[in-house]
Structure 1
Amino acid sequence: MTEHGDPFSRRGFLLAGGGAAALAALGSAAPAAAAGSPPAGPVPPAASGAAATAGRAAVDWINPFTGALTTSPDTACGKTFPGAVVPYGLVQLSPDTVSGGDNGSGYSADMTTIEGFSFLHLSGIGCYGDLGQVQVQPQTGDLVTGRDAAKSPFDKATEQAEAGYYSVELDRYGVRVELTAAERAGMLRCTFHEAGTGRLKVDLSRRIGFDGSHTVTQELRLVDAHTVAGSMTADRSGGGWICGNGPTYTVYFCMRFQLPISELGTWDGEKVTRGATAQSGASDSAGFFVEFPVHAGQQVLAKAGISFTGLDGARGNLESSLPDWDFDGARAAARGSWSRAVAKVAAKGGTDEQREIFYSALYHTMIDPRVSSDADGASRFGDGPIRHDGFTQRTVFSGWDVFRAQFPLLTIIDEQVVADQVNTLLALTGSGAVKGLARWELLGTDTDTMIGDPAVNAIAEAYLKGVRGFDADTAYRYCRDVALGPAEVTNRNDFAHWSTLGYCVDTSLSTTLENCYSDYALSRFARATGHHADATALERTAQNYRNLFDPAVGWFRGRNADGSWMGDQDGCVESNPEQQGWFVPHDIEGLAGLLGGREAFNTRLDAIFAQTPPADMMKWNDRYNHSNEPVHQMAFMFVYTGAPWLTQKWSRYVCANAYATGPAGLAGNDDCGQMSAWYVLAAAGFYPVAPASGVYALASPLFDEVAFTTSRGTRFTIEARHNSAQNLYVQSATLDGRPLHRAWITHEEIVRGGRLTFVMGAEPNTAWGSDPKWAPPAGR
């Protein structure tokens, strides 16, 4: 997701502080009923490091710097952060190079100064961000309270990041800073190289967002000689999400220092108070500092628990997550958490570069949706009442992005996260915090960012794939209300025109086609739960995409309320009509019919890829624009129209040209894991064109073998024999040892476990998977 507006008008800002040089230094079967053997039995989860390849454990291939650029006009910007986090952790303790501007992660690898290290970050978002609170900056010498004035240059050569750990040398202050994290807390270890007074400055007004964003009220108190606790409230008046369109929330913290505090001081604007014990107020510049006498080489440790419910929650989260002062032990525990998490998808073979890209991508799919409830189960939505719902509440649902690949990946390897997210979405609606179902949720608020009904898509897919642990009746009712109304309960974009004209006028083409897919997903949910009249109605409206196909031009166009056609490039969100028009993932045969048949479909789609420049990471362009989500299914659509060898060709092409290692390694914003999930699935050799169908189109695996340990305790392995960069075409395939003639598999076949084996070659086998009788089933 990028910000709204002309998607081709703005691709970032100038490199900061001589960033070009800094950036250069960074480097950079038969049918299912007949084809399978009996379901494979349960297998134990993969052991830590079981995905080891080329002499290294899987976790060691993770590079948190992948995609960590926000501002370069010449290079793709993934907008990730490099700091310490554990899988789906509430805390993301990471360095901050910037607070304002279109820098949602708060860090860009081309920048050369550090403001501090804060406990909360967003990963890969494509707009002005939020969070960034509790920013700690070690200092020596005179106290400097201003955030910009206190920045320190840092030595890029000393910057190190690995799963669950980050470190850097701050040149200005002569301090080495190390970070690690647990689920709901984080720890800093600061080594002061020279004797004197060591200081930790904690900025409580800092907030990521457009220039001038800040928390609006701050409170703190000295609890004892080692502990300071407090809170910061943020609302729209303080900026944050998309220039002040985000949530109201309070961040609570409990921060402890290993050494006794020699002196506590506070600041509010220009006023500095030494010897303070508390501070409360509303300011755009406020915080506190603690000082300690240090000898050369002295290590000063600080840790903090974070909560969105209250001070008791913050204290409990600290005690639960980081009960002692063993920094190295916490670092090892964080690494162990990641080792177990990424071992769920074990890749063998490939090049060193492919392994780094793959495991860094898998890592980035496991940051959100993050835990937002406390260790004791308490939670809240924004500034609402405390809740005890009996499930793990989660936040950061970037729905328009992640329903396409990240959530389908999670339905294979982590059903619990999916169930938690569904329960969170339902609770948001049931509590009245959200009208309809949240489209882009952040801290209990629907930011109403982007279009479509992604929560419907994710909920329907979850139920249809057998994910349980949520109330299906409530889930169906809320989804139905969104799609079918009445108007007072739905939050569907342009519901009035959709329900009367059969298409939308507001962002006409994009919104209409997104709604069509959602109605398809919900129709399958309705059919599966016995709501047959609803299913029939939704199957009909899922065909509304036809209302925007202009036979005179042979392609899609937006329409006005009077039925007239919009301009050739109008009616789209973060796409153009050539890109958006392919988003008919639920009825590819119908789309091919509009274009004149399968051959015409394949010729037009093939030309899109052939005309897409591979240079500069395939960054933003008007053909196949992998930088943004509306095109993500396109390379896999050939499977549905009898040309799977073109899927094999072009999915490999995108893997090779839209992904790389290092800060410039993503073709566009990672969008909370969607861009990364695309790579994980495509590199493994399959992709969900229409996730609610339960069907995955088969592609061309990059690796000799990828094994998925599913949530149900089974293992599904994809093997590619004679695989290489040249041998990218499937010659034949077997599923559990029996010939597989179709170029697709089902979710049921994956989660029951088994082995899919490809034999690869250098030339297309145009016979395999091309016979219409092996096409994916209509309506699946």
Structure 2
Amino acid sequence: MFKPVVKYFAFTLAASLAFTPMLRAQNRAAYVNPFIGASTSTADAGVYHGLGKTFPGATTPYGMVQVSPNTITGGDNGSGYSYEHTSIEGFAFTQMSGIGWFGDLGNFLVMPATGQLKTKAGTIAHPEGGYRSMYAKPSEKASAGYYSVQLTDNNIKAEMTAAPHSGMLRFTFPQNKQSRIQIDLARRVGGTSTLQYVKVVDANTIEGWMKCTPDGGGWGNGDGHAEYTVYFYAKFSKPLKDYGVWSADIPEDWARKREEVGSDKYQDAVANAAILKGIKEKQGKHLGFYTNFATGANEQVLMKSGISFVSVAGAKANLLAEIKDWNFDALHQKATALWNNALAKVAIQGGTLEQKKVFYTALYHTMIDPRIISDVDGKYPGGDGKVHAHAGFKKRTIFSGWDVFRSQMPLQTIINPRLVNDLVNSMVTLADQKQKNYFERWELLNAYSGCMLGNPMTSVLADAYAKGIRNYDVNKAYALSVGSVEKFGNGERGYTPGGIGIAQTLEYAYNEWCVAQLATWLKHPADAKKYAARALSYKNIFDKEKGWFRPNEDNGQWKAWPDSGRMTQWYGTFETNPYQQGWFVPHDVDGMVELMGGKAKVLADLDNLFAKTPDNMMWNDYYNHANEPVHHVPFLYNRLGQPWLTQKWTREICRRAYKNSVEGLVGNEDVGQMSAWYVLASSGLHPVTPGDTRQEITSPVFDKVTLKLDPKYAKGASFSIIAKNNSAANVYIQSAKLNGKIYNKCYLDYSAIAAGGTLELVMGDAPNKKWGEK
């Protein structure tokens, strides 16, 4: 696909500027390139899902605040940013990473300007119609905890950095009698906030809030039920003398979903908003705040703000606790230090500079979510609309369950088990607060959104419990798992009918296996027997005549078999075809192989799946790494007695599907999942079945990978994987030693990792078919 030369020149220059610091082992943050995946372009992706959908702005590990440029409101642009856009509409304090479904957050949008005040953003096609600004692409820089860009319309340099609950912007203005900082309080990715409030507190401070409801679009254009309020407490380095509020007249009977907010009628109302000079307090349906001031040449004006999802007092406390002065550079250094500390959980040696950047950016992307939502004092908004104080855990949000149970959460069980414990506590208490007897499958700011399918929290819970992560109400968690598979499951019928019946039946069967595991461990023998039997329900939708899985109608009859058979997208599946989805029987691989006709037939079918995958691994009908259901498939070769093919294909995927470029992710980042797959696979380990402690061994990209363990959950201090004679050609494991003793299995138990030690692999350029017992 043709791509403009200018685009790639600009990216190369920006990337080189971003990586000028000496790359030292202890400065792992210097390897991070936040531009990787920072595109929503469907043209580049060749499919409506777009590309990585990451954001390039400043944040801290699992922080509440993300201060990031926004180039677009509306459409399937959940990150609010896409690299190919040529104008910026502002810098928001909250963002989502790697998601579709129209997105949400993007709140508290700050923009510097000069000259006449404009109250609407304008569009990509006509940025001159609003406060948007064109920008110099080569000036754009991003690193862990920092972003900067030169806005060319008014010749203003914008810089931003962050703390966990707050952020700071530094604007370098030209000489002008009417310079400005303005804040669009109504702005929200995928829609609008529906009610706002702002108050001038003193000569340098404002406070207020933005209420976001499903009526204003947002998550799933309102179908995701996201309802939250963002509170802010913001200070300006230049006194508020000439300030005011703009307020658009939005009639009561106007709809305010994504389509309406983007309409000419709505935008005309915003463009003609009343400008209320000197007003100190205002509540309204579409508000903004501005402060005007004169600036000398290259004068720096700063703004800092705390945010909270609890209260204005919480936002104030967050800011005062984290940013006590106006030292932007010191705050930037603190953010970098936080990233260096977080990224130190995995140390690598060897590999090319490109591979190091890809690795540490991937690790960085796994450390965005599930983010904290509790304030510095521990208070957080509950699912019942009340304020709660945590009891021994950090409240987490943004659980993209269907994506992250596969790689992201298994990775965190090794390097960040406290986060996993937090997540389980967050989901258990949320169900309590909402008086539900089941887990949510995609949680956003306490919303039970019901997005995607399956019961992924049962997987996260089973995997956590199996690995000794249990500092939560285990009995409640188990009861919620049972409630989940009873509410959403194959039930006594033994399958789920309908248009996505293959996907649902297979996912539910695995989830029921997870509950059976929990029931066994917790000594509920009747439940263990019941759900172990239901875990085999995947067999009920296998059509022996067609030789593959097939969806049923409500009456139990097969749905008509399409002309293209199992290659038909959306035939009983979700975002896949049956050929891709059908491999998802992770809990009973042997049973699946027998059902499919035996080992030889299955191996031939897997070989075909990979052989027909396009070299660039973009969205396709075969091994589609851009979508999660196949992420375990390369590791099935280990289970089938041909581990050298797991080694071959995981190295190929790491090489072909991950790049140090804007288009460096072949599909949506999906809240850490895509990157977590790379972190694990390139390290030499990955599970097939979360909830089972078996970890598949594969070919590491790096000569040495050391995983730092948490002493609260592991006996050892670290676990290292060494690959001797490793190279781009030497991808095959010849022999292995575990803690100095010969080791001939193609897998490890998690207990061996948690005990600490070293797995030593000797690599070669040809398969050793005698190594690696299944």
Q: Which residue of 2 aligns with 1:402?
A: 404
Residue type at the aligned position of 2:510: Y
Aligned to 1:458: 460
Structure 2 counterpart of 1:476, one-letter code:
Y
Matches for 1:7-22 after TM superposition, within 5 Å: 21-22=6-7
Q: 1:630 to 1:20 in 2, by over 3 A?
A: farther
Identity of aligned residues (%): 43
Deviations 1:203-243 (A, max 9, x none): 0000101xxx1110010000011110011111111111112
In structure 2, distance between residues paired with 1:20 and 1:500: 57
2:100 maps to 1:107 = no
Asked if structure 2 preserves the Cα contact closer than 8 Å seen for 1:19 and 1:111, the reply is no
Using the TM superposition, give the Cα deviation of residue 562 of structure 1 relative to its aligned residue in structure 2, in angstroms: 2.1
> What is residue 25 of structure 1 aligned with on the other side?
10
Q: Distance in 2 between the 1:381 and 1:665 partners? A: 37
Distance 1:754 1:329 in 2: 38
1:432 and 2:448 are equivalent in the alignment = no
Aligned residue runs from structure 1 range 386-401, under 5 A: 386-390=387-391, 391-401=393-403
In 2: Cα distance, 1:404 partner to 1:55 partner: 29
> Which residue is 2:674 aligned to?
675
Q: Which residue of 2 aligns with 1:4?
A: none
Quick one: which amino acid aligns to residue 705 of structure 2? Answer: V
Give unpaired runs (5+ residues) of structure 2.
Answer: 14-21, 123-129, 249-272
Give a deviation string over 1:697-739, Cα, whole Å, max 9, x none. Answer: 1111000000000122610000000000110000011100111
Residue among 202, 206, 209 paired with 1:228? 206
CA distance in 2, matches of 1:20, 1:404: 37
Cross-structure match for 1:64 = 34
Name which of structure 1's ranges 749-758 and 374-383 shifts more when overlaid on structure 2. Answer: 374-383
8 Å CA contact retained: 2:142, 2:148: yes
Measured in 1, the distance between the counterparts of 2:25 and 2:710 equals 27
Structure 1 counterpart of 2:82, one-letter code? S
- Quote the residue 1:512 is aligned against: 505
Conservation of the 8 A alpha-carbon contact between 2:494 and 2:537: no
Corresponding residue for residue 278 of structure 1: 281
2:174 is aligned with 1:174: no
SS in 1 for 2:171: strand
Q: Which runs of 4+ in 1 moved over 6 A?
A: 52-56
CA offsets 1:363-388 (integer angstroms, 9 cap, x no match) = 00000000001111111136701111
1:544-601 per-residue CA deviation (whole Å, 9 max, x = no partner) reads 1111111101111111122222234311011110000000111111111112222222
Map of 1:39 onto structure 2: none
Name the TM-score, length of structure 2 as normaliser.
0.91
Asked if the contact 1:53–1:348 (Cα under 8 Å) also holds between the matched residues in 2, the reply is no
Contact 2:61–2:339 (CA<8 Å) still a contact in 1? yes
SS of the residue aligned with 2:209? strand
Give the 3 Å change call, closer, same or farther, for CA 393–460 of structure 1 in structure 2. Answer: same
d(CA) in 1 for partners of 2:233, 2:308: 9
C-alpha distance after superposition, 1:42-86 (max 9, x if no partner)? xxxxxxxxxx97767321110011100002412461000000000
State the alpha-carbon separation in 2 of the partners of residues 723 and 704 from structure 1.
6
2:732 aligned residue: 729
Q: Find the partner of 2:753 among 722, 730, 750.
A: 750
User: Could you tell me which residue of structure 1 aligns to residue 270 of structure 2?
Assistant: none
3-state secondary structure, aligned to 2:457: helix
Using a 3 Å threshold, how does the CA distance of structure 1 residues 26 and 510 change in structure 2: closer, same or farther?
same
Q: Which amino acid aligns with 2:721?
A: I
2-structure distance, mates of 1:332, 1:106 = 26
Question: 1:82 corresponds to which residue?
Answer: 56
TM superposition shift of 1:295: 1.2
Partner Cα distance (2:44, 2:29) in 1: 30
Residues 717 and 549 from structure 1, CA distance in 2 versus in 1: closer, same or farther, beyond 3 angstroms? same
Opposite residue 465 of structure 2, the aligned amino acid is Y
Distance 1:215 1:292 in 2: 28
Pairs aligned (count): 717
**Aligned-pair distance for 1:297?**
1.3
TM-score (norm. length: structure 1): 0.90
SS of equivalent residue, structure 1 residue 323 = coil
Moved more, 321-330 or 683-692: 321-330
Change (3 A) 1:649 1:156: same
Q: Is the 8 A contact 2:55 2:95 kept in 1?
A: yes
* Whole-angstrom CA distance in 2 between matches of 1:174 and 1:89: 31
- The answer as to 2:243 corresponding to 1:250 is no
- How much does 1:19 deviate? 7.2
Contact 1:502/1:541 (8 A) holds in 2: no
Assess, with a 3 A threshold, how the Cα gap between structure 1 residues 366 and 228 changes in structure 2: closer, same or farther. same
Alignment correspondent of 2:597: 596
Paired with 2:483 and 2:222, the residues of 1 have a C-alpha distance of 28
Report the residue type matching 1:231 in the other structure. Answer: W
316-325 vs 727-736, which moves further: 316-325
Whole-Å Cα distance in 1 between the matches of residues 111 and 38 of structure 2? 21
* Superposition map of 1:466-615 within 5 A: 466-483=468-485, 485=486, 490=487, 492=488, 495=489, 498-505=491-498, 507-566=500-559, 567=561, 568=565, 569=568, 570-615=571-616
Picking from 142, 149, 156, the partner of 2:116 is 142
Q: CA 1:349–1:53 in 2, change beyond 3 Å: closer, same or farther?
A: farther
Instruction: State yes or no: 1:376 paired with 2:377.
Output: yes
Matched AA of 1:601? V
1:717 aligns with 2:720: yes
- Structure 1: which amino acid aligns with 2:389? H
Check conservation: 2:499, 2:551, Cα contact below 8 A: no
Amino acid at match of 1:653: E
Q: Post-superposition shift, 1:504?
A: 3.9
Maintained 8 Å contact 1:647/1:699:
yes
Partner residue, 1:651: 650
Q: What's the CA shift for 1:521?
A: 1.5
Letter in 2 for 1:200: I
Q: Deviations over 1:382-408 (max 9, x none)?
A: 670111131211100000000000000
CA deviation map 1:406-428 (0-9, x unaligned): 00000001111111110010011
In the superposition, relative to structure 1, how do residues 383 and 208 fare at CA in structure 2: closer, same or farther (>3 Å)?
farther
Deviation at 1:185, TM superposition (A): 0.3
Q: Identify the range of structure 1 (379-388 vs 712-721) with the bigger mean alpha-carbon deviation.
A: 379-388
Of residues 323-332 and 621-630 in structure 1, the stretch that sits farther from structure 2 once superposed is 323-332
Name the counterpart of 1:239: 217
Q: What residue identity is the alignment partner of 2:728?
A: A
Q: Which residue identity is paired with 2:735?
A: S
Indicate the larger mover: 364-373 or 597-606. 597-606
Q: Distance in 2 between matches of 1:63 and 1:465?
A: 32
**In structure 1, what is the Cα distance between the partners aligned to 2:344 and 2:439?**
33
Structure 1 residue identity aligned to 2:409? F
Counterpart code for 1:173: N
Q: What secondary structure, in the 3-state scheme, does the structure 1 residue paired with 2:197 have?
A: strand
The RMSD of aligned alpha carbons is 1.7
Provide the C-alpha distance between the structure 2 equivalents of 1:546 and 1:344, rounded to a whole number of angstroms.
41
Aligned to 1:194: 175
Distance 1:470 1:263 in 2: 52
- Is 2:618 the partner of 1:637? no
| Offset from partner CA, 1:639-697 (integer Å, 9 cap, x none) | 01100001001111111111101211001000000000000000001111101101111
> Matched residue of 1:734: which SS?
strand
Contact 1:23 1:109 in 2 (8 A): no
Kept after mapping to 1: 8 A contact 2:208/2:233: yes
Q: Secondary structure at the match of 1:429?
A: helix
Higher relative CO (Cα under 8 Å, sequence separation at least 6) belongs to: 1
Q: In 2 relative to 1, CA 53–724 (structure 1 residues): closer, same or farther, beyond 3 Å?
A: farther
- Post-superposition Cα deviations, 1:454-497, rounded to whole Å, max 9, x if no partner, equal 111111111111012111111111111212x3xxxx3x1xx4x6
- Structure 2 Cα separation of the partners of residues 621 and 118 of structure 1: 34
SS in structure 1 at match of 2:553 = coil
Local SS of the residue matching 1:589: helix
Name the CA shift for 1:72/1:169 in 2 (closer, same or farther; >3 Å). Answer: same
Checking the alignment, whether the CA contact within 8 Å between 2:243 and 2:277 is kept in structure 1 is yes
Q: Aligned pair in 2 of structure 1 residues 20, 469: CA closer, same or farther (>3 Å)?
A: farther
- Give matches, 1:332-371, under 5 Å: 332-371=333-372
1:332-388 residue CA offsets vs partner (Å, 9 max, x unmatched): 000000001011100110011111110000000000000001111111136701111
- The one-letter amino acid of 1:250's match is T
Aligned to 2:288: 287
Write the letter of the residue equivalent to 1:252.
Y
Contiguous gaps of at least 5 residues in structure 1: 1-13, 29-51, 776-780
